[in-house]
Amino acid sequence: MSIFAWLVIGHLVGDWMLQTDWMAREKQNGLAARALLIHCLIYTGALMATLALVAARHALSPPYLTVGLVVLLSHWLIDGARLAARWSQLLRQTKQTFVRIMVDQTLHLLVLAFVIEFLF
């Protein structure tokens, strides 16, 4: 399986399985929300653990600090600045929750693609 595929699995674990209802609700309270910070740290931890396992298996030495910072900061901005909602508004997309979730997830996957393409 590719490194990108493993990072997608890490993303799903960090963004869905390890996110509590409290985090999902309260992270919407702005960039300084405590729930947002906790969610982003847990998410980054899940992705970095996934990366470490994959790197060990493939004898890679990725730039962990750079990857960790890109993942943490991008997730913080995407979720905290509600970029999916802003994107949907800009393009006058429907306000249906499913569409916003898909835009949000696409933004996160674009970051992972960037990480693989430009940081490895």
Average pLDDT value for residue range 9-36: 97
Residue 106: DSSP 8-state = H
55 by Cβ neighbours in 10 Å (0-12 / 13-18 / 19+) ranks as: middle
Average pLDDT value for residue range 89-106: 94
For residue 78, the model assigns a pLDDT of: 98
Average pLDDT value for residue range 61-89: 96
Angstrom distance (rounded) from CA 82 to CA 62:
29
pTM of the model: 0.94
Record the tokens describing residue 18, joined without a space.
Answer: 């390890």
For residue 99, the model assigns a pLDDT of: 94
Angstrom distance (rounded) from CA 75 to CA 44:
8
Average pLDDT value for residue range 8-29: 97
Domain boundaries, the chain: 3-119
For residue 85, the model assigns a pLDDT of: 93
Angstrom distance (rounded) from CA 61 to CA 41:
22
For residue 5, the model assigns a pLDDT of: 97
Question: Which of 63, 64, 50 has the alpha carbon at shortest distance from 9?
Answer: 50
